Structure 1
């Protein structure tokens, strides 16, 4: 038996009272409280790695992370770990599933895609009180057809520099394979966006641009016209974080493909290339 075993954790959280995922000195973060709980159980949990680091106020129902723990402890705790974590974690963080995975699994680099949902209501009375933490109240009527027309021009692989917070030596080329809007029976508009990866604040910037089209302030082609920019577009309003939820992360169906996918992900892309369907399965579906 090896000294350590790699665990894959499904994680859900209400991001309202967190300063994002990543550990920050003096701030309450999802990684901070999760690491504290894991350390209490395993003592030497190491290498906590997440599929997508969410910003302050952003939620998750389908987040994925991995961590390496002593194999002997996993053997003793595997049958009761979920219940033990539930007792240690605060009520705004849950771990609904844990499994042992090959050490080639990397929650970040082995991922094929991430899928987010953004909820907006244009009801004149605002958001339902029970959904106020995950639904943006929009003060003007929104047209579903206009929102989907704006979304259509953003699908595919592009340089999304206009919608990203620029980081030195980081590429802003991303491949969006799904971006669409629906209006649910309760009247709430939900944007679903899926891509291989995202830049910081990219989804909220895309939503902000599409909302401008949806309310008629901009034409439907305006968000796509910004793809020619190589710097962030200052006229794009970043939508508030509380409407955004990470709902799923997809990985190769074959565990033997984890390492290969990680190598591919690490390759820098500076020029958009044609989309290729890698064959994927949602992480938590």
Structure 2
């Protein structure tokens, strides 16, 4: 693309009303909504081969999965980008940011847009992704306001055994028991951190004053059970399937030996399918220093082996 500029777009979304990230015909997706608005703002007909306005994302999320911090990039001709300025006396990137923020639906938020550094690729330059899965178990107070991003279960979870299971996932493994490979890809991934914690009960307002219990407002996540996992990348359904495996251990339905066997023999079967999507949120994407972006992108494109 001649005279093209690459833009980094940081965003968040409530995945409840979306059939995942990836654009699909006649189905509402995050990518589809953003690209539709981009075509309107930049006055480019959809299907124009000279200006596709195609987003490349750091990590595709599934139906019903949320993102508090997602990253994608867009390649666009500089002259086309200038079309969004209109009457605004601001640079094109700022104009694009403001128009997207105003025109996108309420379940998508643009955090920021900036020219990408040389060598930046939202997907292949990423060092790691962080996901969090939130559960309200029997020991948690269920808040109906959180139903779109917290899974409610009736059982009491044994976090000690769940953490023993989670510890088995750390390192370079073939997660074939818990994930589906893309065509031509693998389910080999490197998990850097994985653990379960219960969020401490705490107050939102605590200034040391003794104002009485009626003024003590609990934080919305107090008491929830959270699974935090960080990896260089994730295969399809990997996080939700690992969560399901850990939960089965945590409620006593499966043993740690069973989980260890699934890690040792990467074969998919019914008991390691994904848990419900609403508890899962993509929380963070980490990138290297600017001078390492292209090197990282080139290295990650290689097919992995153990």
Common fold: TM-score over 0.5: yes
Partner of 1:207, secondary structure, is helix
**2:267 & 2:119 partners in 1: Cα distance?**
36
Q: Which residue of 2 aligns with 1:190?
A: 226
Residue deviations 1:160-204 (CA, integer Å, cap 9, x gap): 100012444321110000101110122100100110111100000
Q: Which residue of 1 aligns with 2:246?
A: 210
- Paired residue for 2:300, among 239, 245, 265? 265
1:86 lines up with 2:101 in the alignment: yes
**1:25 & 1:78 partners in 2: Cα distance?**
28
**2:77 & 2:108 partners in 1: Cα distance?**
23
1:174 lines up with 2:189 in the alignment: yes
Q: Which residue of 2 aligns with 1:278?
A: none
1:31 lines up with 2:31 in the alignment: yes
Partner of 2:23, secondary structure, is coil
Report how far residue 221 of structure 1 moved: 4.1
Q: Which residue of 2 aligns with 1:10?
A: 10
Report how far residue 148 of structure 1 moved: 1.1
**1:260 & 1:127 partners in 2: Cα distance?**
46
Q: Which residue of 2 aligns with 1:281?
A: none
**1:189 & 1:217 partners in 2: Cα distance?**
18
Q: Which residue of 2 aligns with 1:136?
A: 151
Report how far residue 36 of structure 1 moved: 1.2
Q: Is the 8 A contact 1:166 1:232 kept in 2?
A: no
Partner of 2:5, secondary structure, is strand
Moved more, 229-238 or 176-185: 229-238
Q: Report the count of equivalent residues.
A: 269
Report how far residue 77 of structure 1 moved: 2.4
Q: Which residue of 1 aligns with 2:164?
A: 149
Partner of 1:109, secondary structure, is coil
Determine which structure has more spread, i.e. the larger CA radius of gyration.
2
Residue deviations 1:82-105 (CA, integer Å, cap 9, x gap): 321121100000111111013521
Q: Is the 8 A contact 2:21 2:30 kept in 1?
A: yes
Alpha carbons of structure 1 residues 126 and 240: separation in structure 2 relative to 1, 3 Å = farther
Residue deviations 1:62-83 (CA, integer Å, cap 9, x gap): 1100001232435842233332
Q: Which residue of 2 aligns with 1:252?
A: 288
List alignment gaps of at least 5 residues for structure 1: 272-285
Report how far residue 131 of structure 1 moved: 0.5
TM-score by length of structure 2 reads: 0.83
Moved more, 109-118 or 222-231: 222-231
Report matched runs for 1:93-132 at 5 Å.
93-123=108-138, 127-132=142-147
Q: Is the 8 A contact 2:198 2:224 kept in 1?
A: yes
RMSD: 1.8
**1:125 & 1:211 partners in 2: Cα distance?**
15
List alignment gaps of at least 5 residues for structure 2: 45-50, 83-89, 202-221
